[in-house]
Structure 1
Amino acid sequence: MKKIIFFLCFLFLSLSSQAQEITEESPAGLYDKEFRHSTGLWTGLYTKYRLTENLFYYGEYHFRRRTNFIEDMAQVYLRFGLTYLLNPRVEITAGVVTPFYWAPEQDLPNQDNIVPQYRLWQQLVLVQPFDRLKLYHQFRFEQRWRREYLEGSEFVLSNRFRYKITAYYPLNNYKLLNNTLFLSFYEEVFLQAGKRVTYDYLEDNRMFLGLGYKLNENIQFQAGYMWTFRYDGGPNNFEHRHIPRISVYHNLDFHRMRIEKQKEKIRVLENEF
């Protein structure tokens, strides 16, 4: 267990330090880079509700703030989809996303302070279990219709590809059972393409390290620190974001509930006769 924890922490710190190294200015001054650090607070609710044996409703609901962690609104982010379970280790999902973005500076002339965005999305998740460690490989594709904050600006289509590797490691149990405390780590890389995408094909890189607690089959909590590194409005401008994340995961199995109710009815009828 100690080796796994040490490896995840070492990976997180080493990748952060490598990103920090590229923030140094060039000796010649010809390609000087500018960097800024920002903060935020992201909270989210993740839902997964089983409807039939292989079909699930999937939802994400995010509330995000920025500037000194909580001063200003950043986004309200709503993701909906249907998931089909191909087998216990492979699932596919498709749906829609409707995020709303708050302008960094509010009430400027000729500006819409809150701008919507519309997306379609598709996802493939592969589960890779080990002895105790559990890995998830997430491949997500998004078609985004985005616009500027300027009043009357048009929506422009762009595409985004996301790959995320997530690791869960239980600390007080052998598996992720009820009442289990676990270590959580992920790294996610964002690539984009489209008419307005020029230099920032690598849109973002996010890393997260935190602790989670599985209360039971229906409720799970996670909290930790996320660091991201991305372009910031120009080819020589970059941003480091430092964001605490708090997430709640809620699962329900309506399919099993229906089966149990049917079995209960059968038992009642059998007892009557």
Structure 2
Amino acid sequence: MKFKTFLIVGILFFNLLFSQENLGSWNILNMNVKISSKWNVFAESQVRSLSFYDEFHYYEIKSGVTYKISKDFSATSGFGSYNTFSEGGNFNDPIKNKEIRTWLQVNLKNPLRYLTLEHRYRAEQRFTSDGFKNRFRYRIGATIPINNIKIEPKTFYTMVWNELFFTNKEPFFERNRLFIGCGYEVNKNLAIQTGYIYQFDYKINDETGRDFLNIALLYNLDLTKKEEKEFTPTTSD
């Protein structure tokens, strides 16, 4: 019964999604490697377009390391390259913004009976074409398993999160990013998720676009040979 409800909601959701004008694509490939009980390393690539799999204007490649302070509290440091091209074609020159970015981040999870809440706090150091910039981000999200009590192999789940972007210079507020979607954990190493991203920009010109279809492939590799009791799929962005 839960799966039928999930399927109906999914059909209605995608009908709403594809009724959007100027729907872009937001594609993510994420790999996370657990190297010990405390340490993880990750790598992620993204490609985005302003039209539905056309007018590709942005790509990023990043990696980092996460240290697990306690069961539900972790810290991350990352580094990446972020590139925004001119609109009107596929990776059109001249490039609008070429950026190297580092960041420090903490994650706090609140596992509840039927869902997991996650708070993410990030401070970014951005070396852009227009000079150095600071940025601060806060994201709150919820992951809800559909056909199991927890997320495990063969589990469908829904996910929603909202993220705010700030700077240390006026007007301070830069962006709001909302995600609503669903996913499926294929096995203990692989999850696939898709959904809708709405992005509102306020006086920002390093990226354009408002409505996106998001597709993410999430791969997890455990080198410790100790299976996690629960996998909470998430991207590094």
The equivalent position to 1:69 in structure 2, one of 35, 40, 52, is 52
Alignment match, 2:126: 144
After superposition, give the CA deviation of every residue in 1:73-132 in whole Å (9 maximum; x if it has no partner). 1211112101111111011110211111112257xxxx7336421111111011110011
Shift of the 233–128 alpha-carbon distance from structure 1 to 2, 3 Å rule, reads closer
After superposition, give the CA deviation of every residue in 1:8-56 in whole Å (9 maximum; x if it has no partner). x9xxxxxxxxxxxxxxxxxxxxxxxxxxx85311000122101122111
CA contact under 8 A between 2:24 and 2:209: conserved in structure 1? no
Q: How does 1:142-221 map to 2 (within 5 A)?
A: 142-147=124-129, 155-194=130-169, 198-199=170-171, 201-221=172-192
Q: Give the TM-score taking structure 2 as reference length.
A: 0.79
Q: 1:39 and 1:160 mapped to 2: Cα distance? A: 27
Q: CA RMSD in A?
A: 2.5
Alignment match, 2:105: 123
Aligned residues: 205
Q: 1:38 and 1:90 mapped to 2: Cα distance? A: 39
Q: Report percent identity of matched pairs.
A: 28
CA contact under 8 A between 1:97 and 1:121: conserved in structure 2? no
Q: Give the TM-score taking structure 1 as reference length.
A: 0.69
Structure 1: which 5+ runs fail to align?
10-36, 148-154, 258-273
Deviation at 1:256, TM superposition (A): 2.2
Deviation at 1:230, TM superposition (A): 1.5
Q: 1:233 and 1:245 mapped to 2: Cα distance? A: 22
Q: Which has the higher helix share?
A: 1
Q: 1:105 and 1:244 mapped to 2: Cα distance? A: 19
Q: Which has the higher strand share?
A: 2
Partner amino acid, structure 1, of 2:46? H
Structure 2: which 5+ runs fail to align?
10-20, 227-237
The equivalent position to 1:248 in structure 2, one of 213, 217, 231, is 217
Shift of the 233–99 alpha-carbon distance from structure 1 to 2, 3 Å rule, reads closer
Bigger radius of gyration: 1
CA contact under 8 A between 2:27 and 2:48: conserved in structure 1? yes
Deviation at 1:241, TM superposition (A): 0.9
Partner amino acid, structure 1, of 2:111? P
Alignment match, 2:69: 86
Alignment match, 2:13: none
CA contact under 8 A between 2:174 and 2:204: conserved in structure 1? no
Q: 1:105 and 1:209 mapped to 2: Cα distance? A: 28
Q: How does 1:260-271 map to 2 (within 5 A)?
A: none
